[in-house]
């Protein structure tokens, strides 16, 4: 692969949707800078290289300002054509029961690191007059997340942030796309401690399909895409019209501990 190939940066690329996004970019001829926090990143980089991709792996904990700085520094002097700010974690459970440190960790990664990274990357893109920014939002952004409140609020932030930037940057040559997956088969729910919930235990969307649709959306410069199965798209459409109170009740039924199929029998 030569240096004239386009370059994509993907955060949270060691697994799940981020890895599938990296595969999409690689499959379409992009060089890659990929990031995650732990050593699974090297394994992901090897898999992508084995498939022929030109990959640079940058391990950095994006919850830490120094981790964001390290990742930004790793792209200094490179023209990032697409930046996919995807790293994110959840935290299930009643707000009064969860550890404050875990709640704040969700904010630090999903919200603070997104802002920290977007600033220098977008400044460079605007200076060049070209670039594409892709934010991993969620259909959770549209629902008050009873029993996952900080996570849903963090995705509402990402969604609002992306839409505001779309307006600010519309005449700059830089496009901003947010995509909204529904429940997707990744490590997300296990890591969020939600294996005993209905949403954590039900059938979910294929991350490869989600990433394919997200890739298409960002390359077409679309502003927003609900990605995944028809069921997810239907849920996204319903979320646009349902009252917030009703959505909070529905979310409780999916996310309250003990709602797993075969759990305590709650609906
Ligand atoms: N799965 C779903 O149902 C779903 C639905 C809607 C939106 N999303 C969003 O999709 C994105 C990807 O999640 P996923 O479902 O693919 O889950 P996942 O498989 O758990 O992937 C999360 C990725 O984020 C990375 N990450 C976690 N903490 C990090 C940190 N401190 N610094 C840097 N990277 C870190 C992980 O790498 P490490 O191994 O280094 O921790 C991993 O690569 C998230 O933003 C999530 O909110 C997921």
Distance from residue 91's CA to the centre of ligand 1 (Å): 12
89: CA distance to ligand 1 center in Å? 5
Average pLDDT over residues 148-162: 98
Q: Is 249 a catalytic residue?
A: no
Work out the average pLDDT over 133-141: 98
The encoded tokens of residue 145 equal 């997340």
Q: What is the mean pLDDT of residues 140-163?
A: 98
- Cα–Cα distances (Å) from 180 to 51, 70, 139, 254, in that order, read 28, 28, 5, 18
Q: What is the pLDDT of residues 66-123, one digit of tens each?
A: 999 999 999 999 999 999 999 999 999 999 999 999 999 999 999 999 999 999 999 9
Q: Is 145 near ligand 1, meaning CB less than 6 Å away?
A: no
Residue whose CA is closest, atom 47 of ligand 1?
A: 88
CA of 188 to the centre of ligand 1 (A): 6
What is the band of 261 on the pLDDT scale with cuts at 50, 70, 90? confident
Tell me if 70 CB under 6 Å of ligand 1: no
pLDDT grade for 265, boundaries at 50, 70 and 90: very low
With a 6 A CB cut-off, is 16 part of the ligand 1 pocket?
A: yes
In sign, the C-alpha dihedral spanning 53, 58, 61, 63 is negative
pLDDT band at 24 (very low <50, low <70, confident <90, very high): very high
Mean of all residue pLDDT scores within the chain: 96
- Domains of the chain are 7-261 (3.40.50.720)
pLDDT at 262: 59
The answer, yes or no, to whether any atom of ligand 1 lies below 6 A from the CB of 38, is yes
Q: pLDDT value at position 232?
A: 95
Of the CA atoms within 13 Å of residue 12, those in its CB half-sphere come to 24
User: Ligand 1 in contact with 112 (CB < 6 A)?
Assistant: no
Asked whether the beta carbons of 157 and 115 are under 8 A apart, the reply is no
Give the mean model confidence (pLDDT) for residues 199-210.
97
pLDDT at 206 over 50: yes
Helix then strand then coil, % of the chain, to nearest 5:
50, 15, 35
Cα of 96 vs centre of ligand 1, distance in Å, is 24
Q: Is the pLDDT at 3 greater than 80, yes or no?
A: no
Q: Is the CB of 200 under 6 A from ligand 1?
A: no
- Give the mean model confidence (pLDDT) for residues 208-226: 98
Structure pTM?
A: 0.96
pLDDT over 50 at 267, yes or no? no
Residue 125, C-beta contacts closer than 8 angstroms, at least 6 positions apart: 80, 83, 131, 132, 133, 172, 173, 174
Which residue's alpha carbon is at the smallest distance from atom 1 of ligand 1?
Answer: 184
Average pLDDT over residues 135-150: 98
- Indicate which residue's Cα is closest to atom 31 of ligand 1: 61
Distance (angstroms) between ligand 1 centre and the Cα of 245 equals 28
150: Cβ below 6 Å to ligand 1? no
* Torsion angle in degrees (nearest 10) through CA of 124, 127, 133, 135: 60
**What percentage of the chain reaches a pLDDT higher than 90?**
96
pLDDT for the residue numbered 4? 86
Q: What is the pLDDT of residue 2?
A: 61
Atom of ligand 1 at shortest range from CA of 191: 20
Q: d(Cα 254, Cα 266) in Å, to the nearest integer?
A: 10
Catalytic site residue from 19, 135, 147, 151: 151
């Amino acid at each position: 692969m030569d240096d004239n190939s386009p370059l994509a940066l993907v955060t949270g690329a060691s697994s799940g949707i981020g890895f599938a996004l990296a595969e999409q970019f690689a499959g379409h001829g992009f060089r890659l800078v990929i990031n995650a926090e732990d050593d699974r990143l090297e394994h992901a980089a090897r898999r992508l290289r084995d498939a022929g991709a030109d990959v640079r792996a940058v391990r950095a904990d994006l919850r830490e300002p120094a981790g964001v700085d390290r990742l930004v520094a790793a792209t200094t002097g490179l023209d990032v054509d697409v930046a996919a700010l995807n790293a994110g974690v959840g935290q299930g459970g009643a707000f009064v029961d969860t550890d404050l440190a875990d709640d704040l960790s969700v904010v630090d990664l999903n919200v603070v690191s997104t802002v920290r990274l977007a600033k220098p990357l977008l400044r460079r893109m605007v200076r060049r007059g070209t670039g594409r920014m892709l934010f991993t939002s969620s259909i959770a952004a549209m629902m008050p997340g009873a029993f996952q409140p900080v996570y849903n609020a963090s995705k509402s932030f990402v969604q609002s942030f992306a839409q505001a930037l779309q307006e600010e940057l519309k005449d700059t040559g830089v496009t901003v796309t947010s995509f909204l997956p529904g429940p997707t088969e990744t490590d997300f729910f296990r890591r969020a401690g939600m294996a005993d919930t209905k949403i954590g235990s039900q059938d979910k969307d294929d991350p490869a399909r989600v990433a394919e649709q997200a890739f298409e959306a960002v390359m077409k410069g679309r502003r927003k895409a609900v990605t995944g199965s028809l069921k997810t798209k239907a849920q996204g459409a319903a979320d646009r019209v349902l009252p917030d109170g009703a959505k909070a009740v529905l979310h409780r039924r999916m996310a309250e501990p003990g709602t797993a199929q075969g759990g305590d029998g709650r609906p």
